[in-house]
Amino acid sequence: MKYNFDEIIDRSKYNSLKWLELDSKFGRDDILPMWVADMDFKSPQPIIDAICNRALHGVFGYTTRTESYFKTIAEWMERRHNWNPPEELLVHSPGVVFSLSTIVQEFTEPGDKIIVQPPVYYPFYSIIENNDRKVVLNPLKNLNGKYVMDYDDLERKIDENVKMLILCSPHNPIGRVWSREELVKLGEICRENNVRIVSDEIHCDLVLKGYKHTPFGTLPNNLSDNLITCFAPSKTFNIAGLQASVVSFSNEGDYVRYNEALDKHHFKNNNCFSIAAVEAGYKYGEEWLEQLLDYLEGNVEFLIKYIEEKIPQIKVHRPEGTFLAWLDCRNLEMNAELLSHFMINKAKVALDDGYWFGEEGKGFMRINFACPRGILEEGLRRIEEAISQNVNI
């Protein structure tokens, strides 16, 4: 079927975090939300149908997963990414952030060091610090507008207390889709120094034209023999509110260890609607996803062209994946606080402040372009108008 991604859907009356937390997060609720990383599109019709059919049953008691649940997930990964995660080593989780926190608790000790590569998804920091571990920064290098990993810096910062590296692949907020060669180099360094890699691949299905996601699990076994990969249908099919993600292990020992950690919290079951939605999405959502990717590609082109022609003070880092764009606003010559104030109170748009992702993000903003093009145009128009009216720029 043909999907209409231009349809504007009012989410403000349905407990949308993107809308209802505007006041608490930005100090006002009359601004256009383009921050939280979910999409303003309806999910694939097969998912909607599956949830409706499940709701009509009318009984929502304790639920167990179907025998086909993990098989369906593994088949999707093989079909889309040429990766064959063993079904028997897949584990359900309510969300990737929950998974990462549990992994940090179970596979490291208080005081251990964990590496992240900023500017990066900001919950990585709190996951580490709130569990009494230490953050080690291995900042990405911006080479002529393209971010790359700094392997020399990584090797300098690894010592005997560094136990883990949390990888963001594809990268949020930069939008890089790491090449196989980049990942192999990272894997070699971590293997040589006995550093476990935990790969957050939640955006793996959202890769734009000309790029290909490489699951870390497809690298040679000697680079991935103690790998833990986290992924989810939540970004792919816009079902984050259903609380379903997956953790993949490369060996049975780690699988058992993680499951024992979940047992401590009695936190292992799906809710009944997520089971229906996950299977429907991975079985029948591919047609929708292909149309979505085409639409997102159009939004990227629109975003870049609009900013180049009408807001040249801002530079866009063309995303290779995700539905998030990294905006370089440093030519506006505002510090982080003033830039945030400007976007909220002058442009009246809610974006993610770059400094949320680390010191390296100061002077940048993250914009979510997974919305109808009319909404994207309105957000950009507001920024354009605010800049034109600011005599100090």
| Spatial CA neighbour of 347 closest among 387, 302, 304, 309 | 387
> What tokens appear for 169 in the block?
């692949």
pLDDT at residue number 391? 55
61-283 has which fold? Aspartate Aminotransferase; domain 2 (3.40.640)
The C-alpha atoms of residue 125 and residue 133 are separated, in whole angstroms, by 10
- At 19, which helix (H) or strand (E)? helix 17-20
Where do runs of H (alpha helix) occur along 171-271?
Answer: 180-192, 221-224, 234-237, 252-265
User: Residue 168 has what DSSP assignment?
Assistant: E
Q: Which helix (H) or strand (E) holds 352?
A: strand 352-353
Whether the bond between 170 and the residue before it is cis, its omega within 30 degrees of 0, is yes
pLDDT for the residue numbered 145: 86
Pair type for strands 324-328 and 364-368: antiparallel
Domain with CATH 3.40.640.10 in the chain: 61-283
CB atoms within 10 A of CB 225: 11
The answer on pLDDT for 142 being more than 60 is yes
Query: Burial letters for 334-353: b for 16+ Cβ neighbours within 10 Å, e otherwise?
Result: bebeebbebbbeebbbbbbb
Contact predicate 162/194, CB 8 Å: no
Percent of the chain with pLDDT over 90: 96
Tokens linked to 101: 């926190």
Q: How far apart are CA 169 and CA 172, in angstroms?
A: 8
Q: How many CB atoms are closer than 10 A to CB 82?
A: 11
pLDDT at 393 over 60: no
Domain covering 17-44+286-386: architecture: Alpha-Beta Complex (3.90)
10 Å CB burial of residue 20 (0-12, 13-18, 19+) is middle
- Rounded CA separation 233/178 (Å): 20
Cis upstream peptide for 119 (omega within 30°) = yes
Question: Is residue 48 predicted with pLDDT exceeding 60?
Answer: yes
For residues 258 and 249, is the Cβ–Cβ distance under 8 A?
yes
What pLDDT, on a 0 to 100 scale, did the predictor assign at position 260? 94
Return the residue matching tokens 């047609």.
287
Mean pLDDT of 126-148: 96
Q: Own/partner pairs for 335-339, CB < 8 Å, 24+ apart?
A: 335/362, 336/362, 336/363, 339/363, 339/365
pLDDT value for 144: 86
pLDDT tens column, 157-215 = 999 999 999 999 999 999 999 999 999 999 999 999 999 999 999 999 999 999 999 99
CA dist 332 → 16, 174, 313, 383, 384 (Å): 32, 20, 6, 12, 12
Tokens representing 368 are 């979510």
Q: How far apart are CA 327 and CA 380, in angstroms?
A: 12
For residue 64, how many other CB atoms are within 10 A of its CB?
Answer: 11
- Per-residue confidence (pLDDT) for residue 336, from 0 to 100: 96
- The average confidence (pLDDT) of the chain is 97
pTM for the model stands at 0.97
- Greater model confidence, 266 or 52: 52
> Which tokens sit at 252?
């049975």
H or E, element range at 290: helix 286-310
Q: Looking at this protein, which amino acid is placed at residue 131? A: N
Radius of gyration of the chain measured on its C-alpha atoms = 21
Residue 267 has pLDDT above 90, yes or no: no
As annotated, the residues of the chain forming the CATH 3.90.1150.10 domain(s) are 17-44+286-386
Per-residue pLDDT reduced to its tens digit, 277-300: 999 999 999 999 999 999 999 999
Task: Give the pLDDT score at 265.
Answer: 85
Residue 114 in contact with residue 162, Cβ under 8 Å?
Answer: yes
Distance CA 390, CA 332 (A): 10
Mean of pLDDT values over 93-97: 96
- pLDDT of 392 above 80: no
